[in-house]
Structure 1
């Protein structure tokens, strides 16, 4: 039996990490997103840096430290002493999504800061989760008396009234409802680790799409297709990137797979027309 001793490619490594929802290693997967851009990235070094921060925080929490006080201690370390916060000067820089750089610069966007915060929170026994709130990734901690929803940019907690106003501003269809009628709980459900990584990738997808950076956009699409094997719209979107890169065979394969798995999509006519055009050009 022949053994393959070659190191896995970044995409192969990513596929191994995300193959199961059980024990999904959120931080390691989030770190691995940078490997296309930074192939020499030492993931273990970055994990060790976070381990050191976790130990530093754990020393401040005794057995009698309440969960609410643990949140305060975490925020004091994360935002106060370490100075983590938003990269307001260049919010749409792709580097804001690369967690190893956020750990170095202390600057990021809500979701990358949130991933780091969650790892620290769980290390001190907090039942913390990400929240895929519209327009702004958030954090929540479940307590015996309820839940606390926090802004990952500052650590500040939100009231129900503030969250309702944000929802109504983001979703005009809710603006006519009174506060009691807005389905706030629906938008505060915990985001799974897979959903969190999908949101990180889609942030990068939008940045690279706007920049017309096709090679990087394709790398992101490849990861989305692996991460979300039933999301056939991502296969279709990868097909359009292949078209722009003149990858005819790959584009045809993606479009055909999309139509096979989504029998009556709204864009079927456009996709079939593109398939015909590609076949004509072969």
Structure 2
């Protein structure tokens, strides 16, 4: 039994819940780093934060005291993409390690969103007005400068013009019927993503990898985090329930699918999931 001065360490899930409880004080980089504790149980998150603080100190030393925002941005990009060699993992894009910031720091390879989270931590540490952007199909970062806005692809370090962005949007717009009268300006796709939005996109990337690989245990771990982050995301209850069913845990599968059916009144698959629920209830315990 712990003494008055000894408290049990929080579980990884409890730690994550404490980090994401308040939108106004959500530490994006720390919360994103902590996701890797599911795969790396001995991960020291504070050590990772310390390593990034050292990187920030290095890039700060390269900036003159009177450097303006544009010069600081150029210095950061030179340091991050060229000197440190961070970039996209083009050879193994769907490796789960690309979603774990401790692994990205070690290999200097990642996917757009993890590279963006790391880049944003450094950019904001340099005093830049930098934000993440939930651009369709490819996470971006943007920086507001005195003379305008710069949009950067964190996978390559390339600055993108409005024409570049429009070109990248074309396949998405065609797939979703957003053409002619239904077209919308590029600027609407460049709104800043909140830390909660960014974490959700990061977790859903991992979710898709584990679901494709039918790695149900890892999928459930990701869904546990998603439901802490987004308690009203009823579709995640559905997916966790189906994963529990694949694992053979009927009780937990039924509990999650009941929650989904109860709240997803207008869902197109509500009847299908209700039938699955009936099957599970009839299954022998």
TM over 0.5: yes
Q: Equivalent residue for 2:208?
A: 206
Gaps of 5+ in 2: none
> More displaced, 165-174 or 216-225?
165-174
Aligned positions of 1:221-260 closer than 5 A: 221-260=223-262
Q: Equivalent residue for 1:275?
A: 277
By how many angstroms is 1:146 displaced?
2.1
The separation in 2 between residues aligned to 1:163 and 1:182, in whole angstroms, is: 13
By how many angstroms is 1:44 displaced?
1.1
Q: Secondary structure in 1 aligned to 2:137?
A: coil
The separation in 2 between residues aligned to 1:146 and 1:174, in whole angstroms, is: 30
TM-score, normalised to structure 1's length? Answer: 0.94
Q: Equivalent residue for 2:12?
A: 10
Q: Equivalent residue for 2:26?
A: 24
Q: Equivalent residue for 1:132?
A: 134
The separation in 1 between residues aligned to 2:225 and 2:157, in whole angstroms, is: 30
The separation in 2 between residues aligned to 1:176 and 1:45, in whole angstroms, is: 48
Aligned positions of 1:145-164 closer than 5 A: 145-164=147-166
By how many angstroms is 1:175 displaced?
7.0
Q: Equivalent residue for 2:268?
A: 266
Deviations 1:227-263 (A, max 9, x none): 1111111111111111111111111111111122222
By how many angstroms is 1:141 displaced?
0.4
User: How many pairs does the alignment contain?
Assistant: 280
TM-score, normalised to structure 2's length? Answer: 0.94
Q: Secondary structure in 2 aligned to 1:61?
A: coil
By how many angstroms is 1:67 displaced?
0.8
Q: Equivalent residue for 2:55?
A: 53
The separation in 2 between residues aligned to 1:194 and 1:120, in whole angstroms, is: 19
The separation in 2 between residues aligned to 1:264 and 1:86, in whole angstroms, is: 39
Q: Equivalent residue for 1:142?
A: 144
Q: CA RMSD of the aligned region, Å? A: 1.7
Verify the 8 A CA contact 1:259 1:268 in the aligned structure 2. yes
By how many angstroms is 1:174 displaced?
5.7
Q: Secondary structure in 2 aligned to 1:41?
A: coil
Aligned positions of 1:25-174 closer than 5 A: 25-172=27-174, 173=176
The separation in 1 between residues aligned to 2:161 and 2:266, in whole angstroms, is: 43
Verify the 8 A CA contact 1:174 1:182 in the aligned structure 2. no
The separation in 2 between residues aligned to 1:157 and 1:182, in whole angstroms, is: 22
> More displaced, 255-264 or 222-231?
255-264
Q: Secondary structure in 1 aligned to 2:159?
A: coil
Q: Secondary structure in 2 aligned to 1:157?
A: strand
The separation in 1 between residues aligned to 2:234 and 2:146, in whole angstroms, is: 40
Which of residues 192, 195, 198 in structure 2 aligns to 1:193?
195
Q: Equivalent residue for 1:216?
A: 218
By how many angstroms is 1:35 displaced?
0.4
